[in-house]
Amino acid sequence: MASKAMQGPQVAFMTCKDREMFPIKMAQDRFGNELCPLRGAPHRGPGCYDNEEKSNFSYQVDHKLVSTKGYSMGARTGPRFMREYEFKTPCPTEYQQHRNDPMTFEKSKKPFEIGADRFPLYKRELVDVVPGAGTYEHEIPRNRKVQWHQSFGGNPILLPSITLRSTIDRNTEKLYSTKEERKYHRKLAYLKLYY
């Protein structure tokens, strides 16, 4: 008897009951505090998603994915995600006068508008605005070109002599002494025609 009492029962504590497993129930320790049980959410589940709005024909037409490179996604060369169209047309009162308001007039001192000006704008008021005769010189020759000696309209042959020569080869970048000095002399000769 004593040997049976020392052995005890063959069934361990809480082994015959239904165990509470992880996805539904959590252990009452730190591991259970950090991992939340899977109890579900009201915004998840069947009937909670608007699949029809994302999978219907009009959504596919409006939200067509196109490529910026032109060799994938239907070989379209447009923006990948189209921007939403914004209606930016101004209202009519932005560029038109409001004609519905009643017009206001000044009371005339003489009857039947006898003292009113016949012409709203006089010639004496335009003298300072409009330039008069002789303001412009019409006989000035325009688009003059530099005529170099013995060039006959082609590239100039006898340019002014260049004092310093570049020591760099021809196919590399030139120093200021050769290429830039030639440009400077051509521009100077052109400007001497006018100034």
Residue 175 pLDDT more than 60? Answer: no
CA 27 – CA 33 distance, rounded (Å): 8
- Across-strand partners of 77? 67
- Read off the pLDDT of each residue in 141-169 and give the average, rounded to a whole number: 67
Residue 172 falls inside a structural domain: yes
In contact, 151 and 157? CB cutoff 8 Å: yes
- Read off the pLDDT of each residue in 118-140 and give the average, rounded to a whole number: 71
Residue 182 pLDDT more than 60? Answer: yes
CA 68 – CA 75 distance, rounded (Å): 9
What percentage of residues in the chain have a pLDDT greater than 70?
A: 53
pLDDT tens for 154-165 read 666 666 666 666
Residue 122 falls inside a structural domain: no
Q: How many domains does the chain have?
A: 1
pLDDT tens for 4-41 read 556 666 666 666 667 777 767 777 888 777 776 666 66
pLDDT tens for 104-125 read 878 778 888 787 777 766 666 6
Q: Band the pLDDT of 78: cuts 50, 70, 90.
A: low
What average pLDDT is seen over the chain? 71
Residue 156 falls inside a structural domain: yes
Instruction: Count other Cβ atoms within 10 Å, centred on residue 156.
Output: 16
Residue 52 falls inside a structural domain: no
Model pTM? 0.18
CA 133 – CA 143 distance, rounded (Å): 24
> Which residues, 6 or more positions from 53, have their beta carbon under 8 angstroms from its beta carbon?
59
Residue 173 falls inside a structural domain: yes
Residue 1 pLDDT more than 60? Answer: no
Residue 174 falls inside a structural domain: yes
Sign of CA dihedral 176, 179, 185, 186: negative
Question: What is the pLDDT, as a whole number, of residue 60?
Answer: 80
CA 22 – CA 35 distance, rounded (Å): 9
Domain that holds residue 193: 146-195
